[in-house]
Structure 1
Amino acid sequence: MTGQDKTIPVLEIRGLQTVFHDAQGAWPAINGLDLTLHKGEVLGLVGESGSGKSVAGFSVLGLIDPPGEITNGEVLFNGRDLRKLDEESLRQLRGASLSMIFQDPLTTLNPVLTIGEQMVEAIAEHTRGATPDLRRRCAEGLARVGITSPAERLDQYPHELSGGMRQRVVIAIAMLNRPDLIIADEPTTALDVTIQGQIIAEMQELQRESGAALIWITHDLGVVAELADRIAVMYAGDIVETGSTDDVLDRPRHPYTRGLLNSVPGDTAAGEPLRQIEGSAPPLSRRPAGCPFSPRCDRASDMCLDQPPPPEADANGRVWRCYHPLPEEEAA
C-alpha cells in the first residue's frame, strides 16, 4: 500500500445485494450491505449459520457462482470498484492484494501438488520477472505461522499434514504476497480449542506486522472478543448492529446481539440451561417484510412487521437497526 492515501478505506461496501435464483424467483442472501474497513483494522463479522456472512465474503471477491448473482451495490477496494473490473483484472488482485482463508483447507489445497509447489505458484502468479530463491521465501512463510522444519514441509503433500498444519499452510499462502485485505471465513472452526488459540495468536501477530485489514467471519463471539477492533452483527442478510468490540459486547443495543451473547455457554451459571434465541433464522424465500428479526424478538411491535428499521447511530459511531433498541442501562 505504499503511497496510498490513508484517508481512503481499504474496503468500502455500499448497498451490496446478492441474490440466489430458483424456479420461484430471486431471493436476497445479502440485502443492501454497507461496511467500511481501514488499513490495519480487524472487523469481526458475526451471526448464526445462514445469516449471510460467508456469502458476504465471497461477494467481496466476486466469487459468487450461479444460481447466485450480485445484483446491486459497490465494492470499493482502495478506491476502485471491484464490480466494474473484468474477470482477469479480478484474478490478478485475488491472492495478491486480496486474499481469502477458507474454513476447510482440504478444499483450498491441491492434493496432487506438494506444499512447496503450491506456494511457489502463489508467488509466481503475481510476480513479474524472475524471483530468486522462491523456496526460501516459502519456507520463511511457513515458519512465520509456527510450522516446524519448514524446508522439509515444502516437499510434503497436504494429506501428510495434520488439520492444524494444513490451516497454517493456507494462512501462510494467504500472507505470501502481503495483501492489503484478508477475508478469513471461519478458518479455525474445525480445529480443537488449543490449535484454534495458537492460530488466532499467530494470525494477530502476522496482521500487526503486515498492516493488512482483516475481516474475520465467525459465529464465535469469544474469538472476536480477543481479535477484532470492531464487530458487525449480521442477521438474515442485513447488518443489524456494528460498533467497537467493547461497545457491542458490553452494551448491545440490538435484541439479536443480546440474544447471541446470552447464548454463550460461559455466561450461563452452572446447571442452568442455555438462554437460546427462540425459533430459527428465516429461509431466503420467507424473509419478513419488516425487521427480519421480528418473528423471534420479544420487543417487536406492529411497526416492526411493516418496514425494515432505518439505521440509528450514537456519538461513538455505533450503528443499529431496531425500532425498539435496548436502553443503554439495560444493555449494560
Structure 2
Amino acid sequence: MTALLEVKGLRTVFHLLGGAWSAVDGIDLSIARGEVLCLVGESGSGKSVTGFSLVQLIDPPGEIVEGEILFNGENLREASDERLRHLRGDRIAMIFQDPLSTLNPVLTIGEQMCEAILEHRACGKAQAMKEAASALGRVGISSPEVRLKQYPHEFSGGMRQRVAIATALLNNPDLIIADEPTTALDVTIQSQILYEVQKLVRDTGTAVLWITHDLAVVAELADRVAVMYAGQIVETGAVDDVLDRPLHPYTQGLLNSSSGMVKPGERLHQIDGNAPRIDDRPSGCPFRTRCERVKPVCAEVNPEQQVIDGRIFRCHNPVSLPVRVAFAQEARP
C-alpha cells in the first residue's frame, strides 16, 4: 500500500538552558490513504510535538533539525511558506487540542468557516455558508444557521471544539492530524464525531493521524497503532496485534492501566514512576527505570528498531506472552 505520508528520521529539539533536547527523537511513521493511525502515549511523550512538526508549526525555541516529511512524495521540510499555507486547511487539516488556538474571537463562526472554504475553492459565499451549516450539523450542533452568526465566546468549550473539527472536515482533506480532539467532549458527541471521521475515511480515502491517550477510542477507530515514549516510537503494528499481543513493556503497561483490564472496584495497575523530563532521560533505554523486564544491557544500549511479522518495536526483552484486552464494555466509537 502506497503511503500518503511518510516520515523518516524526524527529530525535533528544543533549545533550552544546557543544550538542545530532543522532544521527537528520530521517529519513522507512514500512513496510507484511507488509513487511521493512532499515536498513543502518556503526556510528555512527544505526541503533540510530532503533530505540530508534521505541519511545520514548530516555533522557537523548538526546531526540526533532521528527517524527511514526505506528503504525497513532496518533502514538506523543503516547501515554501506559501506552499505550506496552500496545503494547510485544504489537503492537510489539523485539529488542535485547544480550540481557542484555532478560532478568531473577533470573527463570527460563519465568517471563519467560509474563509476556510473560499481560500481554497472557487465558490460563492452562499454556497460556502450552506456547506458550513451542514458541517456544524454533522458534529452535533443544533440550529447551525443561527450558530454561524455567533462568536466563539458564545459557545461552550466543547462546542468550540466541535466547530474546529467541523472546519477541518470542510474541504475533505487528504490528511487529518487530530491532537486529542474529543477529550473535552461527552461520550455521545464523541461517538458522533468518530462516526463522521470514519465515514470521511471510508468515502473519500482521507488518511488520519489520531493523537490520543484513550485506548478505548484506539480500539474502535485505529487500523494501526504507534506507541510513543520519551520522543521515540517504541512499537507499531495493526491495532488488534498491538492491543491483544503487545511486545513492548510500555505498551503492556498502558494496557494494564486501562479500566478495561480490571473488574469493577479493583485498582488499576499503573506503571511505576513518571515519564522522564526532556532534559533528564536515562542512559540506554529511556523506559528502563520504570520497566519490570529490565536487564543490564538496558542501561547501556538504547535498543535498535526490530521487525517481526510486520510488528516494529524497540526492546531488549520484549513481552513474550499475549495479553488479551477486553474493551467490549469500555470501547466507544
TM-score (normalizing by structure 1):
0.93
Aligned to 1:197: 191
Distance (whole Å) between structure 2 residues aligned to residue 62 and residue 263 of structure 1: 33
Contact 2:224-2:239 within 8 A present in 1 as well:
yes
Contact 1:9-1:78 within 8 A present in 2 as well:
yes
Shift of residue 26, structure 1, vs aligned partner: 0.2
Distance (whole Å) between structure 2 residues aligned to residue 102 and residue 71 of structure 1: 23
Map of 1:1-332 to 2, 5 A cutoff?
Answer: 8-127=2-121, 133-315=127-309, 317-327=310-320, 329-332=321-324
Distance (whole Å) between structure 2 residues aligned to residue 31 and residue 190 of structure 1: 29
TM-score (normalizing by structure 2):
0.93
Shift of residue 159, structure 1, vs aligned partner: 2.1
Distance (whole Å) between structure 1 residues aligned to residue 29 and residue 295 of structure 2: 28
Contact 2:139-2:192 within 8 A present in 1 as well:
no
Contact 1:101-1:185 within 8 A present in 2 as well:
yes
Distance (whole Å) between structure 1 residues aligned to residue 281 and residue 138 of structure 2: 44
Q: Deviations over 1:194-228 (max 9, x none)?
A: 33233222322233233210011011101111111
Contact 2:253-2:270 within 8 A present in 1 as well:
yes
- Secondary structure of the structure 2 residue equivalent to 1:284: coil
Shift of residue 88, structure 1, vs aligned partner: 1.6
- Secondary structure of the structure 2 residue equivalent to 1:19: strand
Residues 141-150 or 109-118, more deviating: 141-150
Distance (whole Å) between structure 1 residues aligned to residue 322 and residue 132 of structure 2: 51
- Secondary structure of the structure 1 residue equivalent to 2:218: helix
Aligned to 2:331: none
Residues 151-160 or 140-149, more deviating: 140-149
Change over 3 Å in CA distance of 1:137–1:198 after alignment to 2: closer
Contact 2:172-2:206 within 8 A present in 1 as well:
yes
Distance (whole Å) between structure 1 residues aligned to residue 198 and residue 19 of structure 2: 42
Shift of residue 270, structure 1, vs aligned partner: 3.1
Distance (whole Å) between structure 1 residues aligned to residue 306 and residue 60 of structure 2: 35
Contact 1:98-1:182 within 8 A present in 2 as well:
yes
Aligned to 1:4: none
Contact 1:242-1:248 within 8 A present in 2 as well:
yes
Contact 1:253-1:331 within 8 A present in 2 as well:
no
Shift of residue 330, structure 1, vs aligned partner: 4.4
Shift of residue 138, structure 1, vs aligned partner: 1.7
Q: Deviations over 1:51-87 (max 9, x none)?
A: 0000000000000000000000000000000000111
- Secondary structure of the structure 2 residue equivalent to 1:45: strand
Q: Deviations over 1:241-288 (max 9, x none)?
A: 010110000000100000000001231223322111001111111122
Distance (whole Å) between structure 2 residues aligned to residue 174 and residue 82 of structure 1: 20
> Cα RMSD between the aligned structures?
1.6
The sequence identity of aligned pairs, in percent, is 61
Contact 1:104-1:190 within 8 A present in 2 as well:
no
Q: Deviations over 1:87-142 (max 9, x none)?
A: 12111111011110011222211121111100111112223586762212222222
Runs (5+) with no aligned partner, structure 2: 325-333
